[in-house]
Amino acid sequence: MIATAAEARALFRAGTVAATSGWVPGRTQVNLIAVPADWAYDMLLYAQRNPKPCPVLDVTDPGGTGTILAHDTDLRTDFPAYRVWRDGELAEERTDVVDLWGDDLVAFLVGCSFTFEADLAAAGIPLRHNEQGRNVPMYVTTRQCRPAGRLHGPLVVSMRPIPADRVAEATALSARMPGVHGAPVHTGDPEALGIDDLDRPDFGDPVRAEPGDVPVFWACGVTPQAALMASRPPFAITHAPGHMLITDVPDADYRVG
């Protein structure tokens, strides 16, 4: 039984691989995107111009391996799984990236919708992917982000089937957390986002909707990965979708008002 964020990080550092939705309830989880310093301004500006999918919670100095978000963390080992990108192509997936973390690499830690899931669960709103033991499904949409420098790409969304009579409440609860994607970007019709088949997500697992559920879409921290694929920087490291760093920061810190 994993009780604390530090324990979870130690487990992942030792090589365990797992999707982290539902892990260590109450502690904020974050996405990773690390790029060469030469690309850091474009990435930070891309995030500023697209705050819903890219809420940046911390940025390292070049070569740095720690973060203010988690005590004694090594960003090169403490995510359950990493993806390595070369020229915009997925080159490999790994459980650590110690040997690839150069002195000029700048890491961006980006908020994750898992943060508001705790509030949804506390309100009794069912989370189907957790009930079904799956990673949350994520989709590349036809909606383009606002470009920044050399970076451009589509919006990626996560989807949760929500009972129709709880959609308003799920919206209000997530809206209170703008630092971790905030309110849904879209509710209902997947086709309006260019999603043809909910059963074939681009990342994560398909999730079964229960009768009366409506698909609700939130901006997703995998959006920077889609920008990498579209914009092809020479090198980048990200987390594997759904496999996040569990920080020490209470989710409540991102609740506004």
Nearer to a copy of itself, 177 or 195 (CB): 177
Taking the complex as a whole, the smallest distance from the CB of residue 254 to a copy of itself amounts, in Å, to 10
Angle at 82 between CA 40 and CA 223, to 5 degrees: 55
Of residues 35, 40, 167, 193, which one binds a copy of itself by CB under 8 A?
40
243: which 2 tokens?
């496999």
Q: Is 182 in the site for a copy of itself (CB under 8 A)?
A: yes
Taking the complex as a whole, the smallest distance from the CB of residue 48 to a copy of itself amounts, in Å, to 6
Angle at 232 between CA 227 and CA 238, to 5 degrees: 60
Measured between alpha carbons, how far is 65 from 84 in angstroms, rounded to an integer? 16
Q: Within positions 140 to 179, which residues make up the interface with a copy of itself, using CB under 8 A?
A: 172, 175-176, 178-179
Measured between alpha carbons, how far is 92 from 101 in angstroms, rounded to an integer? 14
Of residues 11, 17, 45, 90, which one binds a copy of itself by CB under 8 A?
45
Q: Is 132 in the site for a copy of itself (CB under 8 A)?
A: no
Q: Which stretch binds a copy of itself (CB under 8 A): 48-56, 136-144, 216-224, 232-240?
A: 48-56
Taking the complex as a whole, the smallest distance from the CB of residue 147 to a copy of itself amounts, in Å, to 10
Strand order in the sheet with 138-144: 138-144, 154-163, 213-219, 186-187
Each residue 198-237 as x (binds a copy of itself by CB under 8 A) or -, in order, gives: ----------------------------------------
The CA-to-CA distance between both ends of the chain, in Å, stands at 34
Angle at 231 between CA 226 and CA 235, to 5 degrees: 90
- With tokens 């849904």, the residue in question is 184
Nearer to a copy of itself, 45 or 214 (CB): 45
